[in-house]
Structure 1
Amino acid sequence: MRVGEVRTGRVVSVEGREVLVELDGFSGSGKAVGRIPRGALTRKAIGHPSEAVRIGQRLTFEVMGVDLQRESVWASASACEDPTLRAFLLGLRRGATHEGQVQSVHNFGVFVNLDGEPDNRCTGFIRGPELSWLRIDHPADAVTAGQRVVGEILDVDTCRGQVQLSLKALQQDPLKAFENQEGRITTGQVTKLIPFGAFVRIADGVEGLVHNTEFRDEPVEDPGQIVSEGDEITVRIVEVDLVRRRLTLSARNLRQNGKRPS
C-alpha cells in the first residue's frame, strides 16, 4: 500500500474524531483498518462525522499514511470527493509555474482562481509572506482582486483541494544586490529591537542584524541603550549569506549622527 493511491472500504465505526473503515482486499490476510480524521472526511462543514457517513457505507479515499505498528492506514475521503478536481490537482507539480486570477484578498493571504481548474473552485492560495520580498503591511499592498498573477507551485493538497503558490519565488531576491559587498558602509533604519541586538533595513526587503557586540567595542546588555526603532544609523556589511538569507551588520567604530560611538 502506497501513500497517494486510492482505496475503497466499508465504514465500521463513526466516532467524534474519526471514522474507521475496513479496507477492501485484505480478506485472505487479515483485516486492515483505515482511519479518516473528521477534517479529512469531507470539505463540507459538519459538526459530527455522522452527518456525512453512516456505518456500512462504502467510501473511496486516498492513502495519506501507513502505520505498520498499528496495522492501520490514515486516509482522506475528501481527497476523492470531487474526481474532476482531483484529476486537475494531480496534473500539477511542485516547482512548476501556474497562472490565475486573484479572487479575494484577506489579511491572512490571497485566494486565486487557477487557469484550468474545474468550475472556478478557487484552489490557489498565497500566504502573505509568499507575496513579495518587499515589506508589506497587508496583502492588498501587493495584489488586488481581479489581477492576473503567475506563481510557483509550492504544494498540492488533494485533501483540502488547495494549491499553495508563491509569487516571491519568481522575483529576484533583493539581498542578491548586496552579494560580495562585505565591508561596504551604508545607512539603514532600525526596524526592531530584540534582547541580543537590532534589525536594520538597508533596502526594501533587506534587513540585517546588528548584534549587541557590534554597537561598540564593549558589548551592550540592551540595544535600546544605543538605538531606538525608527532611528537612521550607519552600518558596515559584515556577511551576506544568500543560502540562509542572512545579513550580518556592524555599527562599531562608525560615526552616528556626527558622533563616534563611545
Structure 2
Amino acid sequence: MDGASEDSAREFLGTFHIGDVCTGTAKEITRPHGVAVTLDGFPTRPPGIVGPLELSWRQSPAEAVKVGQQITAAITSIDLDEGRAQLSMAATENPELWAFLKPLRPGEILSGTIAAIERFGVFVALDDGPVHPVFPGVGFITYPELSWRRFESASDVVQVGRRVSCEFLQFDTWNGEARLSLKAMQPDPFRIFADSAAVGH
C-alpha cells in the first residue's frame, strides 16, 4: 500500500471516535476467524478489523458474518499510525448494553448484586444496567480488585446475592462489561500506615 493511501486512511479514521457506530462490507475472513472490513466512505482498502470475540456474543464466528455481507459495528479502538480501527459487531447486537456502558466515567460509583463467582473473577448485576447477553452480570471484578487484604477464595470477600458498591474502572469493549473495583471503596492500608507513621514522627 502506498503512502498516499496510508495518509488517506489515517485522515478518514481521524473523523471517528471510540464508540461511534459505522457501516461497511466484510471483505475477507482473517485468521483466526476475524473479519477485514471496508468502511462506507473508504472503499479502497479494509481499514476495519472485527476480531473473533467482537463478531457476535450469540453466534459462532462462521455463523456471524459472510464475505460480501453489509455490517454495522461500533468502533472500539483506533490506531492512526497503522490506519486501522478495531470494530465490534457484537456491540450493535446489544444497543441497550452499549448505551449503558459508553457514558460511564472512571471513578463513578455503581451499585448492584453479586451474580456469580468464577475462578477468573466476580460478576455483578448492576442496578441500572441491562441484562448481559452472555455473562451473569454487566459488571465484572477481577480478583486483584476485590480486596486489599489477602484471601484464599473470592467467597471469603463476597457472596452471591450480596449487595455491593464499586468504583467503575473502565468499559471493557471486548466483553461488553463494566470493569469494577470493590477494593477502591475500602481504605488503602498502606496509606493508613504511612499516615499513622507520619503522625508518629
1:68: how far off?
4.4
Amino acid at match of 2:182: L
Match of 1:257 in 2: none
Amino acid at match of 1:15: T
* Structure-2 separation of matches of 1:41 and 1:19: 8
Match of 1:170 among 181, 185, 188: 185
Structure 1 segments unaligned to the other structure (5+ residues): 185-262
Answer yes or no: is 1:141 the counterpart of 2:156. Answer: yes
* Structure-2 separation of matches of 1:104 and 1:70: 39
Structure 2 segments unaligned to the other structure (5+ residues): 1-14
Distance 1:151 1:74, change over 3 A: same
CA-based RMSD of the aligned residues comes to: 2.4
- RCO (CA 8 Å, sep 6+): is it higher in 1 or 2? 2
Of 173-182 and 139-148, the range deviating more from structure 2: 173-182
Match of 2:102 in 1: 90
Match of 1:40 in 2: 54
Amino acid at match of 1:122: G
Distance 1:168 1:68, change over 3 A: closer
SS of residue in 1 equivalent to 2:57: coil
Match of 2:7 in 1: none
Distance 1:66 1:130, change over 3 A: closer
SS of residue in 1 equivalent to 2:87: strand
Aligned length: 181
**Percent of residue pairs bearing the same amino acid type:** 38
Q: What TM-score comes out, normalization by structure 2 length? A: 0.79
Say which one has the larger Rg.
Answer: 1
SS of residue in 2 equivalent to 1:11: strand
Q: Is the helix fraction higher in 1 or 2?
A: 2
Which runs of at least 4 in structure 1 moved beyond 6 Å after TM superposition? none
> Structure 2 matches for 1:71-90, cutoff 5 A?
71-90=83-102
> Structure 2 matches for 1:153-164, cutoff 5 A?
153-164=168-179
